[in-house]
Amino acid sequence: MRGRGGVAVALAAASLLAGLPARAGGDAAAGRKRAAACQTCHGLDGLSKMPEAPNLAGQVEPYLVKALKEYRDGTRSNPIMNVVAKELGDTDIDNLAAYYGGLQIEVIPPG
């Protein structure tokens, strides 16, 4: 039974990601340099320094690309991110996604 649950979770995750674009393929080193502008809210380590800003470390690259492009074009609304993202080109977005998506996080269950 346990094996089937893992398969169900994997299928659910795959279906959620199906609508996202393919892997960004950006340059993580260039993204780290560009992330200096993001560190006030999201931290250079991708761990949020503000309660209203999400953690970015370990996020899936295609999700980050999609979110940043939506902030840039106004599809997704956030007063700060809409202004910040307007300055980002596609290469900047790919690089930031590669950097933050490549940061490793450790999950420790409670208890």
All structural domains of the chain:
28-102 (1.10.760.10)
Which pLDDT tens digit goes with each residue over 54-75?
999 999 999 999 999 999 999 9
Burial 38-76 (b: 16+ CB within 10 A, else e): beebbbbebeeeeeebeebbebbbbbbbbbbbbbbeeee
CA distance 13 to 78: 26
Longest dimension (CA), the chain: 50
Backbone angles phi, psi at 56, to 5 degrees: -110, -20
pLDDT band at 5 (very low <50, low <70, confident <90, very high): low
Which pLDDT tens digit goes with each residue over 81-94?
999 999 999 999 99
CA distance 57 to 31: 13
pLDDT (0 to 100) of residue 1: 44
- Decide: pTM greater than 0.85: no
